[in-house]
Amino acid sequence: QKALDAALSQIERQFGKGAVMRMGDQPREVIPAVSTGSLGLDIALGIGGLPFGRICEIYGPESS
């Protein structure tokens, strides 16, 4: 833990505060979404559909 704290403080000195973010430090943001009509796709997208106000590109092989 001591070595990790030393490394993080060195990174913050070199690159500035906020250069390193730890997972779980901030609460999860609730993003409003509209359903695609496909339950599997909504689940795969992680928020229950396509997010409002954002550009979303989905690609893959034809007819997949």
The predicted-structure confidence for 11-54, as pLDDT tens digits, reads as follows 999 998 888 888 777 787 888 999 999 999 999 988 999 999 99
- Residue 58: its pLDDT value, please? 82
Range 56-62 average pLDDT: 87
| Backbone torsions φ then ψ of 8, nearest 5 degrees | -65, -40
What is the Cα–Cα distance from 25 to 51, expressed in whole angstroms? 23
| Six token digits for residue 46 | 């992680």
- Residue 9: its pLDDT value, please? 92
What is the Cα–Cα distance from 51 to 32, expressed in whole angstroms? 6
List the beta strands (DSSP E) in the chain.
33-34, 50-51
32, 14 Cβ separation under 8 angstroms: no
- Residue 49: its pLDDT value, please? 93
